[in-house]
Structure 1
């Protein structure tokens, strides 16, 4: 029996091989002629210091199980390699005469893995974030003929920066990789990536394709420039750069030389990889791509399994990291109470992400990116397989899929003639837990991984003792760490140590034996043999004969049982739905109906809902097939509309970097997972107007949403509504509360604020007059819409002088300010607002939280209402929005406003301000069925929203909420026990910690020079 590894060296051809060569002589002749042309020694430009010694490596790996690709396995096959390329692979492969023959009996050969997302060979990005006391930076400080924004680095080419790093290459090779995409990870546009192998050689030899992909992200990286400072700013910058590049291509003379835009245009011909941090970012990136005709390859964030229907709809190929979250230490209940159910469920379900992609038939690659230790890569793949990923798809995701995605399948990704000789030799199927990676060959060069494990000695042996009897032993464990047992009536554990070819054995003949047989000897191609002593110390000779591989037990080949996991919730939180609720016909009977129409309040009245609309209002209506809800003793109102909200927004409510940021859009950064949607449904809110903050005179475009809990971002949006934009006045925009270093950005005074408006609308008017070929400007597009009454203003305001100023500017440019929000001095200028046509959104009784609200009074809303200004009560606060009905009730007290008129201030009046009063805001036949069933008078502090209905869907039900709380408790307990079990097993755990939800107010600053400083303004209103 020959079981030892035959090290590469000139090997004599066996008679069988010679016979095979004679049979295929004609084939070999043609083959050799081809090789002569293909693999002739190449000339080099590098000088030789010494004697030239060109070598052409030729190897034949015989008797192997070759996995040519994920679909093709060849038994007892041969892989032939010459000069770094694969020549042939198969059972009938011809072995060249000059080949070094490597016997791979019992071994498996796989294509080396391809990592499509790596920073290997690139300089580590050091993010300084700027000095804490540095003044704002408005323009790029990159020297040269480049674009205006430092975050656009499309001119960067990884191939120019790439340097071989043998230490990192070795770590990646040990994980099974042979080829990687080397990508700089700095900036929103990151330039081009290069395809390289992990060979240890000169850079010019390992670079396979200079420009293989272009990179993008929602992260400005090392840029110290203020813009962009928010997620919506990143999106606006990408959209504007697309437009600028198109314009530059058609009008190059107008811009001069712009190397960034030149490179951007050139890079559009390459596959584009977009790195994101979560599922919603993935959809945002895809939406940008759809707008500009680009299908991004998306490097996922790790929680995309929570929205597989939306992810599948992108039609994108994904790159899936395997940095699954670690177990959380739940032993201390005081700490454990801070851990959200969302985090617990994500810990449990994250490893199922690759399987979810496979099940949804979404193409994907696997990457080692984001792992703290690349050595854990294969164990992470095995974990994904344990959670449902098939081994075939796992191999595809590491070989063929990345290669085809990058259009380099002619070079790597399978073991076919002509491709690079990048392959793994393993002791068994590569994803088996006990399989050892033995060697990784890259470009025909051998790299040892576990050289001492080449000889798989596991099996049953008969040891013949001279003099004496024979002993049967069994060797198990792994090739690198074998374990021995003596096979008698009872199996008895012994000891075995192997050092290269030397073996020592200590074999007990009985349990608890005081003395063992001790043997030492040599492992050779002809078997094992040596000398030793028996149990009484007498010298003996011995040899071992291989008797066969250990037969597998009947149940040992069974796969692990499927992992038991809880369901995905929509959204992914404790209060999410198992299945999204469906629209249904509903009859609410015998309620007190607050119509907000001329009919007023109707006692003991029925309301019928069909197809999401109010179908009938009256007494004793027939239910038909509709669900019947008893409203006896209860009150039914239109759903509350919050005219000024900042819930459900991701990564910044302010693009605070410039005075005018009309190009950014709240609609680009909706966060449907925000639990405040559910909380506000519990307070009767059905719609929210999500506004940009108040950090600049002209902020971003707002978004009206309906609180459709569980739906995705696009489905939250109210369609076909008049678009709005946020303006602001006062202390915030002149930066008086931003700190001493923020004295650079214009404006710094209230006078300057007026000039910002005049300048902006002057530029917008001039922009409209430009003819064909003009550069499309997203900022000026939005301002031009205002001039043309196609976009409407909601303006953050307090002081009467500034309110008058903005109305004067609007009159000068012939547009109208739609709504002044906050406006605590509105009572002073209500007549002028009425004449101008402006409405008001205000607080009921908030004042004295900063200097410019010192003149606020609780009668403000009542006075504006009585003058004839359409007045709403809004929140600007996630907590207050849950009780806007009570805020409306305060107006009855402060000013004697009738109850029905007060309720309109949180229902019909905000609908009027938002131009949707024809669709919602009152209970009228034909309007949307946005309704709240209250336990009491809706203006009462005792009233509870028992059911909140949006478009005929019961989005909140107080009885079901009680059931959800029980479900949450049970699910928390289940997962807590599971986590405690992980700790008990010795799994490393991370400390439980509190991670508060994002909650924004008008003044909250994020990013730019505020990033990392914890700067949110004091009062936050």
Structure 2
């Protein structure tokens, strides 16, 4: 035997005339190897859990307002009861409600109540104000696919945009996404629009993650312009499919207990294939959306929503069949070639086809007026003979939005047992003259236009001390 060479366990057993039975030490080594494989298979799927706790609230009774419940229902001179952080009652009278004696009573006569507004496409926190390079943390533009990154690890909770969205737009929840430079940009996260010291203190409990994907011009421009792949739409699809194949193989190894090491990117994609992570797909052209739906069938995942989707009106029937929402603007168009065939009647035509319509922002200013954007889309539909009830339009920025990001069983509509996320408007929310008067999140009054102490201000906006103030 060559000096310094090592025998295998089996060879050593033969040399010693043994039976090949492992020694105690060998058994321990094998156990350690098995533990490593088990650790790779049974990794912590929730390493950054939500620490969100609702702010303290009081039992509150709102009477006399017009109620839009988010699911197409309208109640004139209705009643909403908030208790224990939840919606305890909604109806046309107090007859069936057990109202606590100490409940705060608010007269809503002439006013309107909706569920809290939800934005499914926001970059608040990852592209915070002020919009300078030092704060630009939304696009990990280093590779065409980066499903390993998580938006929550870029969110700055002090972004002044959060308080603006609450006060001016009645936004109580939002999905923060990575940018769209990459075909697979990473995980999105749903947050409650509350002040917290950490992003985990904002994180919506039990909301599913999303996977941000992007079609078309963005990944072509970012990577093709550098002489890298992909540089064409067919390159986009090829890279996507190659990546999904790897995800399928990873998932199969995990199921068979044969994983040798963790892969953060493939963990996310396996979560999509398991149905636990929702696909949120940036896509403009109808033909590309149809191709993505085919790719989803090929690999067995579901597209929860196409974002921007300016040509969705062309394939409303396909989107309805796939149960895929269209998260759209009312009338933003023409800023690149794939946005040229947009029409302001997009939402109306989708609604008529029975498809899921969501109004989103993708903008720190637009998030403050999702109600007005929905009203614009309603008006454009009316001009071509599609008359959409106000109560349905309100659902475009409440219930349908909640459905698109997977929280509709918890919020997005007004029904007993759901989160007490409620906006009291000083007029019809579909009027340009209306604004939020009061906003509750989990039953806690977090904005009140008549109370200066309930107009939240970001720590960043408090400013820096002057030179003479520092001792």
Give the alignment's TM-score, normalised by structure 1: 0.38
Structure 2 residue 432 is the aligned partner of structure 1 residue 941? yes
User: 1:858 aligned to 322, 341, 344, which one?
Assistant: 344
* Count of aligned residue pairs for this structure pair: 405
Matches within 5 A, 1:689-708: 689-708=175-194
Residue aligning to 2:205: 719
Matches within 5 A, 1:982-1001: none
Structure 2 residue 76 is the aligned partner of structure 1 residue 603? yes
Greater alpha carbon shift after TM alignment, 613-622 vs 916-925: 613-622
For the pair shown, the structure with the greater C-alpha radius of gyration is: 1
User: Are 1:709 and 1:955, in contact at CA under 8 Å, matched by a contact in 2?
Assistant: no
1:877 Cα deviation after fit:
0.3
1:727 Cα deviation after fit:
0.4
Give the alignment's TM-score, normalised by structure 2: 0.80
Residue aligning to 1:959: 450
Indicate the SS of the match to 1:653.
coil
Structure 2 residue 403 is the aligned partner of structure 1 residue 917? no
Question: Deviation string for 1:79-103 (max 9, x for gaps)?
Answer: xxxxxxxxxxxxxxxxxxxxxxxxx
Greater per-residue strand proportion: 1
Matches within 5 A, 1:757-768: 757-768=240-251
Structure 1 residues 964 and 913: alpha-carbon distance in aligned structure 2, compared to 1, 3 A threshold: closer
What do you get for the CA RMSD once the two structures are aligned?
Answer: 2.9
Structure 1 residues 739 and 776: alpha-carbon distance in aligned structure 2, compared to 1, 3 A threshold: closer
Structure 2 residue 111 is the aligned partner of structure 1 residue 634? yes
1:851 Cα deviation after fit:
1.4
Residue aligning to 1:664: 149
1:623 Cα deviation after fit:
4.6
Question: Deviation string for 1:944-994 (max 9, x for gaps)?
Answer: 10111100111111122388699x9xx88xx87x64477xxxx9xxxxxxx
Structure 2 distance, partners of 1:781, 1:773, is 11
Higher relative contact order (CA 8 A, sep 6+): 2
Structure 1 residues 937 and 878: alpha-carbon distance in aligned structure 2, compared to 1, 3 A threshold: same
Residue aligning to 1:673: 158
Structure 2 residue 263 is the aligned partner of structure 1 residue 780? no
Structure 1 distance, partners of 2:291, 2:69, is 38
Structure 1 residues 689 and 773: alpha-carbon distance in aligned structure 2, compared to 1, 3 A threshold: closer
Structure 1 distance, partners of 2:395, 2:159, is 27
1:705 Cα deviation after fit:
0.7
Structure 1 residues 964 and 716: alpha-carbon distance in aligned structure 2, compared to 1, 3 A threshold: closer
Residue aligning to 1:931: 422
User: Are 2:223 and 2:230, in contact at CA under 8 Å, matched by a contact in 1?
Assistant: no
User: 2:279 aligned to 793, 796, 809, which one?
Assistant: 793
Question: Deviation string for 1:418-455 (max 9, x for gaps)?
Answer: xxxxxxxxxxxxxxxxxxxxxxxxxxxxxxxxxxxxxx
Structure 2 residue 322 is the aligned partner of structure 1 residue 848? no
Indicate the SS of the match to 2:450.
helix
Structure 1 distance, partners of 2:239, 2:414, is 43
User: Are 1:696 and 1:728, in contact at CA under 8 Å, matched by a contact in 2?
Assistant: yes
1:691 Cα deviation after fit:
0.8
Structure 2 distance, partners of 1:709, 1:617, is 28
Indicate the SS of the match to 1:734.
helix
Structure 2 distance, partners of 1:581, 1:803, is 41
Residue aligning to 1:223: none
Indicate the SS of the match to 2:315.
helix
Greater per-residue helix proportion: 2
Residue aligning to 1:616: 89
Indicate the SS of the match to 1:745.
coil
Structure 2 residue 382 is the aligned partner of structure 1 residue 892? no
Residue aligning to 1:746: 229
Structure 1 residues 651 and 853: alpha-carbon distance in aligned structure 2, compared to 1, 3 A threshold: closer
User: Are 1:592 and 1:602, in contact at CA under 8 Å, matched by a contact in 2?
Assistant: yes
Residue aligning to 1:904: 395
Runs of 5+ unmatched residues, structure 1: 1-245, 252-287, 293-312, 314-579, 988-1021
1:891 Cα deviation after fit:
2.1
User: Are 1:820 and 1:839, in contact at CA under 8 Å, matched by a contact in 2?
Assistant: yes
Structure 1 residues 250 and 923: alpha-carbon distance in aligned structure 2, compared to 1, 3 A threshold: closer
1:732 Cα deviation after fit:
0.5
Matches within 5 A, 1:376-387: none
Structure 2 residue 351 is the aligned partner of structure 1 residue 878? no
User: Are 1:659 and 1:745, in contact at CA under 8 Å, matched by a contact in 2?
Assistant: no
Structure 2 distance, partners of 1:963, 1:794, is 34
